[in-house]
A and B are shown apart, each in its own frame.
Chain A
């Protein structure tokens, strides 16, 4: 018995619901416990006397509660089941289950398998011999019956296959079967796969007593059937079997690594079964696409794999011109390669010799070969080329003097008149001819005809009956400009002008690019690779042209039954190419890619319009029952009803207790508990919160303020060495230098800052002054890595050994400071150093300097060696060189000379005591700072007069 999805296993028990009125009456009769009332005037009541002892009715809600309880118990005993599936197979004889696990099974496979399992367990319960055949089994289908339990395992292990379904073989097997089936269950996809009609006829002819036909909802089933890499967009055809299904959808294109490249949407209009989806993308991106899948479709048909056939073409260029092209603008190949580069891979012949170049290019799998003005070809090369064109190559030839003068040439689309003609010259009658027309059926159809293209010379075609057909573009006087003819699987295209600008200005115009693009798009296929020989035909599709030699391509990746890309299963066999005329998609060769990841062939489920349709259920035998896949498992309500009844019982007890007054104290107690708990929670939470807030505000704020300020102003920085006296001197020195810079230049640095190189962020400072002291230890590797990163990212470090009196850096005597500097630099990536040469930017960055004194005079300033000193031998005032030396080393104690006290007087005397030396020390500082800030700007500035002169001003 079923009602609104509810099924009762023991419906008779429901009759006891009729007893509910009786229960109601009984409940009304049983008096509740009387209210106890103290009542002093009871004697007065005694005078009224005992009368009418009819019990008062219990509260209506209590009665209702109890009635509901009784109803729930009765309902539970009737064992209701939600969404129960009726027992769908009847009879006692053998059962045949046909399970469609083809490509369309993915979306509802769980339900389908669950239904099959349920049917099998029913068959097992009834001990009926059962046969299970999968729709993808084809001729291998086994119609012999076994115990249903065994088949349960089979179904549990089964997965949808990304394979086309052919019912023809199944129909044959069923006809042949000698078992007299009592029941046939067809778990179909609802799609009229190949042979479906025949299959229906077969089961009709068997006179099976019970036929059950399951079909899922197909309204979301959409498949991708055909991919066409059109000039403007990648166009895929989307088909649907169910015209009442959803009209729209989206699809996503993925690259080889599975990243989504683009998404696009499609829409079916009206009752169309097919629609188009366009991916309008730049060619480069389009060529990256290896897979297109309809979103959220979950089946193998919604995926199309793209291989080399859909990729950008490899174009080989061979020129008859001289190999050594000192002037590239005169080379014909220059224009072609510039025009082809955006959308194809251009391979120029490495060998000037045509006989070598052509085989090389063929070896490189070019799909298009451009021969610019090549007249005669060696016989062997000609033969190779002919074979290559026959097997699908696109040969594009440009005319030229050599072609025009060559004797008979077979590799031209039309017969040519020798010699060519010239227009608009002094000795010619005609005027230069403009390009007027792109033929309608040519690949050039739709390109806007340019007005400014003029042809002054061309080779002429012999008038021929099929000349018009072979013409793709023609001039105003009707003579062909581009002709083409098909040869074998390939094409031969001839431009009747040269590829350079000598015969026409066509190569200079934008339309040239469009034309080449269209031509390359026509060359629709990768050409036989030596290694894979995955020869494919010009037409897209799995049909592979036969070759003499058969080659096996190993499986690379597979589409599974749910439409996702997986690693190939072990059962997949290599794809045999050439051994058979067409590739049959089968369990051995399921859709997927075959070959290596560099060169592979994509086998798709649908390569041609699939023309899907639904099984017309009217054609099924009249006695067919229709089942629907269970969408969710049935749900037994008994236990839940009983639980609800028990809950109501508890409620009833509570209500009775409450009416008797037992719960009077409980709410107060509960309230006290609640309030107490809340108070404690709040009391604990508030201090915690406060503590956190204090922590967070306390720690973060000052650091952020410092960094922010540092970023706003340029500041000089010195390294805190740990020697307090030295650090103080560094600070004073940089303060003095800062003052000097601010007064003399437009740069106004902020207050100098001492940095701890092991902790502080260094990125804010352009120059780091690092006085070397023997105190303390050498910074550890981690710190030096920070310094290294600082220097590599553009910062400069000025090391100051301050030991000129002991010899200084770079001299033979090695003082302890120099030794320490060496230890420090040991872990740094230091380029070769040199003393500042005379023409270094440092000598001119602000002041003209020849020495770089500090407190001491003699020490040299060392910088990175600038390269190409010899090569750059031109007499220039300043050395060319990019970048700023990341390391500067001096021994002159710069800071000592710069240092000033608070009153502006110098902290230390200079050695020798020459006041001019201190000025020069400041100037040195200015030059170093300017150098670190502006780099080679100054060295460029010296060329301004020359530049201005060149500009004619």
Chain B
């Protein structure tokens, strides 16, 4: 019998979780960001967007419209009948996705019910998502640490960058400086900052025209509050200690407050059109990945 229900665990580095992240990512099919969302940027990608646009791959022949440049006419096709045809290529553009996982001390918590700490799970989710997106040809970046990378090995590079980067503990939300409009932002955190602060940062990002997805990582102990008896609670972030004679009496009240927080976040995301996913660290990482996949691709996985 473990003496305590939850415990603080050491932080896990990017490369150590990379393998686990790849394992998870291999289970998920390629992810194409929903086309409507994608800015019509000049950035070339290699993944067809199933619509007409700039690209190398043949998409369709269509009748020549008056006013179009003569150079676009495909003479070989037009010679076969009386109409004049224009050859269209498929639009091959890359989207930019910023992924950020919280690494504050509060994430370094694992209860007896969970297999891994919240930080570990968040990192796995972030890197797995990176891997999936990079495979699909999207540009992936980690705000504050890397630029948006267009590389199949983006996950590896980000993991390497994370190892050398000194994480800013106070950072409760990703820095938005480098993020352009219409980019996608994925924030993986436990959102234990004061709720108003968090909501403010989300609003700020939305005003910049960023579309976001929040993955709320919750340890089962935080959700269920299995404490009883005389208990001294320590806040790993501030170090504050709080002693309760009978912890079990707090459970109901705590659950109400915790749910209120979550509801507030969900409400905000719904209003902004963002995605909000709650992930419990005792569940498989894949569940969160699949949920995010569905949201981003706009279609259910087959």
> What residues make up the interface of A, taking CB atoms closer than 8 Å to B?
31-48, 50, 52-56, 659-661, 664
CA distance A48 to B225 in the complex (A): 14
CA distance A52 to B7 in the complex (A): 25
| Shortest distance from the beta carbon of A819 to any chain B beta carbon, whole Å | 97
CA distance A659 to B249 in the complex (A): 22
> Are the CB atoms of B246 and A52 closer together than 8 Å?
yes
> Are the CB atoms of B230 and A37 closer together than 8 Å?
no
Known contacts A34-B230, A36-B4, A39-B233; decide if A44 and B258 are in contact (CB<8 Å): yes
> Are the CB atoms of A41 and B246 closer together than 8 Å?
no
> Are the CB atoms of B233 and A42 closer together than 8 Å?
yes
> Are the CB atoms of B237 and A40 closer together than 8 Å?
yes
> Are the CB atoms of B257 and A47 closer together than 8 Å?
yes
Known contacts A43-B192, A47-B257, A48-B257; decide if A38 and B236 are in contact (CB<8 Å): yes
> Are the CB atoms of A38 and B245 closer together than 8 Å?
no
CA distance A432 to B109 in the complex (A): 130
> Are the CB atoms of A56 and B246 closer together than 8 Å?
yes
CA distance A31 to B247 in the complex (A): 14
> Are the CB atoms of A39 and B235 closer together than 8 Å?
yes
B106 within 8 A of A: yes
User: What residues on B are CB-neighbors of A34 within 8 Å?
Assistant: 229-232, 243
Question: Which of the listed residues B194, B227, B235, B237 has the most CB atoms from chain A within 10 Å of its own CB?
Answer: B235
| Shortest distance from the beta carbon of B290 to any chain A beta carbon, whole Å | 26
Could you list 11 further interchain pairs (A-B, Cβ under 8 angstroms) beyond the known A32-B230, A46-B240? A31-B230, A34-B229, A36-B4, A37-B5, A37-B232, A37-B234, A38-B233, A39-B227, A40-B118, A48-B250, A55-B245
Choose from A31, A33, A43, A44 the contact partner of B245 (Cβ within 8 Å): A31
A-B contacts, 11 of them at CB < 8 A, read A35-B232, A37-B6, A37-B227, A38-B8, A39-B221, A39-B233, A43-B192, A44-B254, A45-B242, A54-B245, A54-B246
| Shortest distance from the beta carbon of A445 to any chain B beta carbon, whole Å | 92
User: What residues on B are CB-neighbors of A53 within 8 Å?
Assistant: 243-245
CA distance A56 to B228 in the complex (A): 9
B222 within 8 A of A: yes
Known contacts A35-B229, A35-B230, A48-B253; decide if A40 and B243 are in contact (CB<8 Å): no
B3 within 8 A of A: yes
User: What residues on B are CB-neighbors of A43 within 8 Å?
Assistant: 192, 194, 235, 238
CA distance A69 to B254 in the complex (A): 40
> Are the CB atoms of B230 and A39 closer together than 8 Å?
no
> Are the CB atoms of B227 and A48 closer together than 8 Å?
no
> Are the CB atoms of A39 and B6 closer together than 8 Å?
yes
> Are the CB atoms of A40 and B254 closer together than 8 Å?
no
User: What residues on A are CB-neighbors of B240 within 8 Å?
Assistant: 42, 46
| Shortest distance from the beta carbon of A51 to any chain B beta carbon, whole Å | 8
Closest-by-CB residue of B relative to A53 is: B245
B152 within 8 A of A: no
User: What residues on A are CB-neighbors of B250 within 8 Å?
Assistant: 45, 48
User: What residues on A are CB-neighbors of B235 within 8 Å?
Assistant: 39-40, 42-43
Which 7 pairs across A and B sit closest by C-beta, in order of nearness? Answer: A42-B235, A40-B106, A661-B3, A34-B232, A39-B233, A34-B230, A56-B230
Per the 8 Å Cβ criterion, residues 1-52 of B in contact with A are 3-8
Closest-by-CB residue of B relative to A36 is: B232
Choose from B190, B194, B245, B246 the contact partner of A40 (Cβ within 8 Å): B190
B295 within 8 A of A: no
Interface size counted on chain B using CB atoms at 8 A: 41
| Shortest distance from the beta carbon of A377 to any chain B beta carbon, whole Å | 113
Choose from A52, A56, A660, A661 the contact partner of B229 (Cβ within 8 Å): A56
| Shortest distance from the beta carbon of A747 to any chain B beta carbon, whole Å | 87
B201 within 8 A of A: no
> Are the CB atoms of B234 and A42 closer together than 8 Å?
yes
How would residues 189 to 218 of chain B score, 1 for a CB under 8 Å from any chain A CB and 0 otherwise? 010101000000000000000000000000
| Shortest distance from the beta carbon of A299 to any chain B beta carbon, whole Å | 65
User: What residues on B are CB-neighbors of A44 within 8 Å?
Assistant: 254, 257-258, 261
| Shortest distance from the beta carbon of A655 to any chain B beta carbon, whole Å | 13
Known contacts A52-B249, A53-B245, A54-B245; decide if A38 and B229 are in contact (CB<8 Å): no
CA distance A32 to B246 in the complex (A): 12
User: What residues on B are CB-neighbors of A54 within 8 Å?
Assistant: 245-246
Classify the interface of chain A: helix, strand, loop or mixed: loop
User: What residues on A are CB-neighbors of B106 within 8 Å?
Assistant: 40
> What residues make up the interface of B, taking CB atoms closer than 8 Å to A?
3-8, 106-107, 109, 118, 190, 192, 194, 219, 221-222, 227-238, 240, 242-246, 249-250, 253-254, 257-258, 261
Question: Which of the listed residues A31, A40, A659 has the most CB atoms from chain B within 10 Å of its own CB?
Answer: A40
Question: Which of the listed residues A39, A660, A664 has the most CB atoms from chain B within 10 Å of its own CB?
Answer: A39
Closest-by-CB residue of A relative to B229 is: A56
CA distance A50 to B235 in the complex (A): 15
User: What residues on B are CB-neighbors of A660 within 8 Å?
Assistant: 3
> Are the CB atoms of B222 and A41 closer together than 8 Å?
yes
Known contacts A39-B6, A40-B190; decide if A45 and B245 are in contact (CB<8 Å): no
> Are the CB atoms of A48 and B254 closer together than 8 Å?
yes
CA distance A38 to B222 in the complex (A): 11
User: What residues on B are CB-neighbors of A52 within 8 Å?
Assistant: 245-246, 249
CA distance A56 to B232 in the complex (A): 12
Closest-by-CB residue of A relative to B6 is: A38
Closest-by-CB residue of B relative to A661 is: B3
CA distance A39 to B107 in the complex (A): 10
| Shortest distance from the beta carbon of B289 to any chain A beta carbon, whole Å | 23
User: What residues on A are CB-neighbors of B228 within 8 Å?
Assistant: 56
User: What residues on A are CB-neighbors of B232 within 8 Å?
Assistant: 34-37
Known contacts A45-B250, A52-B249; decide if A38 and B192 are in contact (CB<8 Å): no
Known contacts A43-B235, A48-B253, A56-B246; decide if A38 and B109 are in contact (CB<8 Å): yes
> Are the CB atoms of A55 and B6 closer together than 8 Å?
no
User: What residues on B are CB-neighbors of A36 within 8 Å?
Assistant: 4, 232, 234
Known contacts A35-B229, A48-B254, A56-B229; decide if A40 and B236 are in contact (CB<8 Å): yes
User: What residues on A are CB-neighbors of B6 within 8 Å?
Assistant: 37-39
User: What residues on B are CB-neighbors of A46 within 8 Å?
Assistant: 240, 242
Question: Which of the listed residues A45, A54, A664 has the most CB atoms from chain B within 10 Å of its own CB?
Answer: A45
| Shortest distance from the beta carbon of A39 to any chain B beta carbon, whole Å | 4
User: What residues on B are CB-neighbors of A33 within 8 Å?
Assistant: 230
Question: Which of the listed residues A31, A42, A54 has the most CB atoms from chain B within 10 Å of its own CB?
Answer: A42
Closest-by-CB residue of B relative to A662 is: B3
> Are the CB atoms of B3 and A41 closer together than 8 Å?
no
Question: Which of the listed residues B7, B244, B257, B258 has the most CB atoms from chain A within 10 Å of its own CB?
Answer: B244
CA distance A773 to B5 in the complex (A): 98
Closest-by-CB residue of A relative to B241 is: A42
> Are the CB atoms of B245 and A39 closer together than 8 Å?
no
> Are the CB atoms of B4 and A38 closer together than 8 Å?
yes
CA distance A565 to B261 in the complex (A): 101
User: What residues on B are CB-neighbors of A48 within 8 Å?
Assistant: 250, 253-254, 257
User: What residues on B are CB-neighbors of A45 within 8 Å?
Assistant: 233, 242, 244, 250, 254
> Are the CB atoms of B192 and A56 closer together than 8 Å?
no
> Are the CB atoms of B242 and A56 closer together than 8 Å?
no
Known contacts A48-B253, A664-B3; decide if A37 and B246 are in contact (CB<8 Å): no
User: What residues on B are CB-neighbors of A55 within 8 Å?
Assistant: 230, 245
CA distance A463 to B221 in the complex (A): 129
> Are the CB atoms of A56 and B245 closer together than 8 Å?
yes
CA distance A41 to B236 in the complex (A): 9
Closest-by-CB residue of A relative to B233 is: A39
User: What residues on A are CB-neighbors of B238 within 8 Å?
Assistant: 42-43
CA distance A50 to B106 in the complex (A): 22
CA distance A126 to B83 in the complex (A): 145
